[in-house]
Structure 1
Amino acid sequence: MGRGIFAGKAAFANATPRLMLYCLIHAMGSVFFGYDGASFGGVQAMTPFMNKFGSYSATKKAYYLPSRTASLMNSLPLLGKFTGTVVVGPIIERIGHRRAMGVTCLVQIVGAIIQVTSNHAAQFVTGRFLVYTAVGLVENVVPTYQSEIAPAPLRGFFVGSIQLCLTFGSLIAGIVNESMSRRTDSSGWQIATAIQALPAVLIMCGLWFTPNSPRWLVFNDRSDEAITVLRKVRRQEDVDNGRPEMEIAAMRDEGQIGKREKGPWRDLFSEKNKRRTGIACSIMALQQLTGVTFSSSYGPTFYRSVGLADKAFVYAVVNNATSVVTAMMAMVFLDMFGRRTLVFHGGWSQGAFLIAIGALGRKASPNVHESNGIVAGMQLYTCILHMTLGPGAYITAAEVGTQTLREKTMALSTALNVVVGFIVVFVTPYLLAEIGAGLGYIWGGFAFFTSIWAWFCMPELKGRNLEEIDQLFEANIPAWQFHKFQTDGLSHDLAVLEGGKADAKVVEQLEDTERGDAVNR
C-alpha cells in the first residue's frame, strides 16, 4: 500500500471521545512511571528523610544517607522493574490488559503505602521494589493496549503519549519535591512519596468504564464482545457502515482467529520472528545507550560537574518543561513523518549536540560562552530525544510483534531496556568523575550509530494496521522498502478505509466479505 496516510484531518476524525477516554485512562499509568523515576532523586536529599533512614555523623554533626543504603534504595527497585517486565506478558495473555492494569495499580498502591509507613530502610526498599514492579508492568500494558485499540493512522499518536506522560510525571515530581523540601518534618517526604499512589487510584476508578483490547477478545474467541468494543470507539458513520465487523473480518483474514495458543518464549527467536524480536530489542537498548537515563537521572549532577552548580536544578526543571512540549509534538510527528524518519534524524541530531557538549566541556573551567553552549546543547539534545527516539522506541516495540507474541516481544525488549539502563546508571557516576563532559562523546557515538541502524534495520510502520505488519515481515523485504510495499487482502482495504481514502468499491468488497463470514458462522 502506498503510504499517503498520515495524522491529518481525516485521521484525527477517527479519534472519538470514547477512544480518547480509554487511551487516556491507561496513559495515566505512564504518569506514575515518570513520577516514580524522578521523585526519589529529590526525596533522598530531604533532611527529614536522611534523619529517618540515615546515620549520624559526629564530624558533620548531621545525619547523612550511607552509600550502601543509598545504593540499595536506588538499585534494587530496578530489579523490581525487571521482574515486572518479565511477568507482564503471561499476565496480559491470561487476564487481558484491563485486569492487568488493575493488578498494576494495586501493586503500586501497596508499594506506596509500605514506603510512607516505613520506619526502617529495609521496609522502604521493599516498597520501592513493589512500586518499580508496577512500573515494569505499566511500561508494557499501556503501549500494547493503545496499539491494539487505536486505528492505524493514530497508533503513533496514542502510543506516543507515553513519552508525554513520562515527562509530565517527571515535571510534577520536580515541582512537588521543590515544595516539600521546605518542610522540616517527615510529612515532606511522606507526601511526595504518597502522591505516587494518586494516578493508580484514578486509573482504578476509570477501569470500571474501559473495555478489554478487541484483539485480545478476538484471540480468546470472544468476537462478539470485540465487535461491541469497536462499535463504542469508532465513529457512528463507520459503525453504520459496518466497519467494526470489517475489522474483525480483517483479523480473521490474516488468520488471527483459531490460534488461541500464545507462542512460547522460544518462538521469539524462531526463523520467522527473530527479525521482529531483534528490532524491538535493539531500539529499546539504543534508547538507553543514547543517554535517556543519563539525562533524567544525572542532569543536575552533570551541570555541577561542568561548573554550573548554582543553576543546576533550574536547568533540570527547564529540561522537563521543554520535554513536555516536544513530547506533545512527537505524538503528531510519529504518524505525520513516520517512526523511522524521526528516529533516523533524531539520532544524528542528538549525536551532534552530544559531541558539541563534549567539545565545549573539555576545559576544567569553561568560560561563560562555553557554559551557555553546554546548557543549550543539553537542552536541545533532551528535546530531540523526547521527540524522536524516546517515544519511537515504545511505539516500535509495541507494534512490531506478532499477535501470538506481541506481549512477550514487548516484555523482552523492555527487560533489556531495564538491564541496559541499569548499566548506564551504574557507570555514569564513574565516567562523570573521570571524563566529565567528555561523556557526550560516548552517548553521541551511540546516537550516530542509532541513525545508521535505523536506516538499514528499522522498518517504517506508520499507517499500517497490525494485520498489514504481518504481511510486511512475511514478504522479507529490506527495512528501507517497507513504506513502498503494497499489501493485499482485507487488511489492505481496511487500512485504506481507516485513512479516509476508501472508494465505494473497497467498501462494497469489505461488506461482501463480512456477509460471507456471517453466513459461514
Structure 2
Amino acid sequence: MGFFFNFVVCLFSAIGSFLFGSDSGIIGSVVSEQFDLFHVYFHKPGPDIIGAIVSTFAGGCFFGAAATGSLATRIGRKRTIQLGALIAVLGCSLQTGARNVSYLIVGRLIAGFAIGSLSMVVPLYQSEISPPEIRGLLTGLTQFMISMGFLVSNWVGYGCQFLRTDTQWRLALGIQIIPATCLFLGMFILPYSPRWLVEQGRDDEAYAVVQRLHGNTQNKEFVELEFAEMKEQIRYEQQNYSTKISDLWSTKPMLRRTLTGMAIQICTQFTGINVSSYFQPTLYAALGLSGSRILMITGINGALGAVTTIIFIAFILDRVGRKPPLVVGAIGMAISLAVEAAINAKWGGADSHNHAAQTAGVAFIIIFSALFFSTSFGPVSWVYQSEIFPMRVRAIGTAVCTCANWASNVLISQVSPIGMARLGYRFYILFVCTNIANAVIVFFFFPETKGKTLEEMDAVFGDQVIPHALETKQVHNVGTDEKIDEERKSTVSEV
C-alpha cells in the first residue's frame, strides 16, 4: 500500500492531537468576555479562578503523560491511544454537564489526563511507523491536527457566542466528544507499531505491517533491510540493556538525549505560544478590539496556522532538517513579540481607537503564531522528541519529555492571566528574552536528526554499538554466535 496507507494511518491517529488543539482552543473562547453566559453561570470568576480552570487541564496532561510511558510499553501504542480516547470522552462529558466551578475543574483534570496521554503516545506511534525520509511530514501531522483542533474550536467558539442560553458554553465544550469517540472506534482497524510487535516477539506480524506501511514494487530491498535493522537493534537491546527509567541518564549519550528532548519541549512552552493559544481574545481586547470580531480574528489566525503547518511539514521540514527552522522561528517570534510590546506600550488599552495600531497588533500576533511558531517549535518539537530515544526506553523517554512540556504549560497558563493583568505589555518582553535563549540553546546543543532511521540515532548521539543494516546492506551485523546467526538466516528467509 505504501505512502498513502502510511499517511492515512498517521493522519487518523493524529485525531488525538486534534483533541489537544480543540480543548486548548475552545477554553480561550469559553473564558473570554464574549461568552457572557459562562461568566454569569459561574458567578463571574476572577483571574485566579480562570487561571485554575485553564491550568488544571495542563496539570492533568502532566500526570497523563507520566502514566503513559510504561503503559505504552506494556499494552502497545495502539491500545494506549484507544484508552486515552475513552478517558477524553469522560472528561469532556463532565465539562459539558458542569454545575459549578469544581465540577468543571474535575472534568478538565480528567480530560487533561487523556490529552496528556495522547500528546505523548500519538507522535511516538507516528514516528515508529514512518520511513526516515518522510518522518518529519508524518510525525509533523501531530502539530497540523493540533492546529486543526484550534481552527475548529475557534470557529465553534465564534458561532456559539451568539447563543443566548447555557448551550453557549456547553455545546462548545461538548463537541469534543465526537472526535474522541471516532478515535476510539477507528483505532481498531489501524495497525500496531511494528517496532512494538518486534519487541513482543511477534515478528511475522511486524513484517506484514512494515510491508503495508512502506512497501511497493520499487523499494522491496529497503523494506527488507529496514525490518532487519529494526529487529536486530531491538533484539540486541533486549539482550544487553535494561529498560529502567534510570537508563535515561545512565550514560552521557543517554543523558544528552534526555536533556535535549526535555529542552525542546520546555523551549516550546517558553516561546509564549500558550499565552496566545489560551488567552488570544484577551490579547486582542488589550489592543482595544471588542465584540464578536475578536473571536472571528481568532478563527482566522487558527486557519492560517493550519495552512502554514501543513505546507511546512510537507515541503520543508524533511528537506532542511530540524535545527534551522527552530533557530529561525525563535528569532522571528522574539522580533514579533518585541514589536507587539511596542505597539501595546504606545497605542494599546481597552479605550484605544487607533485603527492602524490595532491592525498592526493583530498582524504581529498572527505572524508570531501562524507563521513562526507553525514553522518551527510547533511541529518540530513532537517530531524531535519522538525520534531520539532507543526502542528500549522510547516510550519512557518520550513520556518524560512530554511531562516537561506540560509542567511548563501549567506554570505559564496559571501565571499568564495575572501577568497580563498586572504587567500589561511588559509581559511580552519576558518571552522576547526566552525566545532569544531558545535560539541559542538549539544552535549550540541540539544535534541534527534529519534522514536517520530511529535505529541510526545511536550514531547521532554517540552511543552506536552495532552496525546498521541500511548502511552495510546486510541483514545481520552482530557477532558470530551460531544461534543468533541462525535466527538471522531465518529472518532473511521470512523476508
TM over 0.5: yes
Counterpart-to-counterpart distance in 2, 1:71 and 1:468: 43
The residue that corresponds to 1:460 in the other structure is 448
Partner-residue secondary structure (3-state), 1:185: coil
Please say which of residues 348-357 and 275-284 is displaced more in the overlay: 348-357
The residue that corresponds to 1:300 in the other structure is 281
The residue that corresponds to 1:177 in the other structure is 157
Q: Does 1:248 align with 2:235?
A: no
Please say which of residues 98-107 and 244-253 is displaced more in the overlay: 244-253
The residue that corresponds to 1:357 in the other structure is 340
Query: Contact conserved, 2:47 with 2:417, CA < 8 A, in 1?
Result: no
The residue that corresponds to 2:398 in the other structure is 410
Give the residue type in structure 2 aligned to 1:459. P
Counterpart-to-counterpart distance in 2, 1:296 and 1:69: 18
The residue that corresponds to 1:335 in the other structure is 318
Shift of residue 468 of structure 1? 0.9
Please say which of residues 156-165 and 122-131 is displaced more in the overlay: 122-131
Shift of residue 518 of structure 1? 4.6
Give the residue type in structure 1 aligned to 2:271. T
Query: Contact conserved, 1:38 with 1:170, CA < 8 A, in 2?
Result: yes
Query: Contact conserved, 2:28 with 2:281, CA < 8 A, in 1?
Result: no
Q: Does 1:474 align with 2:449?
A: no
Shift of residue 119 of structure 1? 3.0
RMSD: 2.6
Query: Contact conserved, 1:223 with 1:248, CA < 8 A, in 2?
Result: no
Query: Contact conserved, 2:331 with 2:439, CA < 8 A, in 1?
Result: yes
After superposition, the C-alpha distances for 1:393-432 in whole angstroms (9 at most, x for unaligned) are 1111111112111112211111111111222222323332
Counterpart-to-counterpart distance in 1, 2:486 and 2:170: 61
Q: Give the TM-score, by structure 2 length.
A: 0.88
Q: Which of 175, 196, 199 in structure 2 is aligned with 1:216?
A: 196
Could you tell me which runs of 5 or more consecutive residues in structure 1 were left unpaired when the two chains were aligned: 1-13, 56-63, 477-486, 494-505
Counterpart-to-counterpart distance in 1, 2:147 and 2:185: 23
Q: Does 1:313 align with 2:295?
A: yes
Please say which of residues 185-194 and 414-423 is displaced more in the overlay: 185-194
Q: State how 1:138-287 maps to structure 2 within 5 Å.
A: 138-237=118-217, 241=220, 243-254=222-233, 256-257=235-236, 259=238, 263-271=243-251, 272-287=253-268
Please say which of residues 141-150 and 373-382 is displaced more in the overlay: 373-382
Shift of residue 118 of structure 1? 3.2
Query: Contact conserved, 2:54 with 2:413, CA < 8 A, in 1?
Result: no
Give the residue type in structure 1 aligned to 2:238. K
Counterpart-to-counterpart distance in 2, 1:179 and 1:90: 41
Shift of residue 256 of structure 1? 4.0
Please say which of residues 87-96 and 436-445 is displaced more in the overlay: 436-445
The residue that corresponds to 1:503 in the other structure is none
After superposition, the C-alpha distances for 1:232-284 in whole angstroms (9 at most, x for unaligned) are 11233157x35443222112443545617762222212224100001011110
Shift of residue 519 of structure 1? 2.8
Q: Which of 385, 389, 393 in structure 1 is aligned with 2:377?
A: 389
Give the residue type in structure 2 aligned to 1:417. N
Give the residue type in structure 1 aligned to 2:298. A
- State the identity as a percent: 25
Query: Contact conserved, 1:102 with 1:207, CA < 8 A, in 2?
Result: yes
The residue that corresponds to 1:423 in the other structure is 411
Counterpart-to-counterpart distance in 2, 1:151 and 1:129: 36
Query: Contact conserved, 2:248 with 2:255, CA < 8 A, in 1?
Result: yes
Give the residue type in structure 1 aligned to 2:283. F
Shift of residue 469 of structure 1? 0.7
Could you tell me which runs of 5 or more consecutive residues in structure 2 were left unpaired when the two chains were aligned: 479-483
* 1:204/1:433 CA distance change after superposition, 3 Å: closer
The residue that corresponds to 2:481 in the other structure is none
Shift of residue 69 of structure 1? 4.8
Q: Does 1:519 align with 2:489?
A: yes
The residue that corresponds to 1:83 in the other structure is 63
Counterpart-to-counterpart distance in 1, 2:427 and 2:112: 28
Counterpart-to-counterpart distance in 2, 1:256 and 1:133: 33
Shift of residue 349 of structure 1? 1.7
Partner-residue secondary structure (3-state), 1:211: coil
Please say which of residues 259-268 and 206-215 is displaced more in the overlay: 259-268
Q: Which of 94, 102, 108 in structure 1 is aligned with 2:74?
A: 94
The residue that corresponds to 1:36 in the other structure is 23
Please say which of residues 334-343 and 75-84 is displaced more in the overlay: 75-84
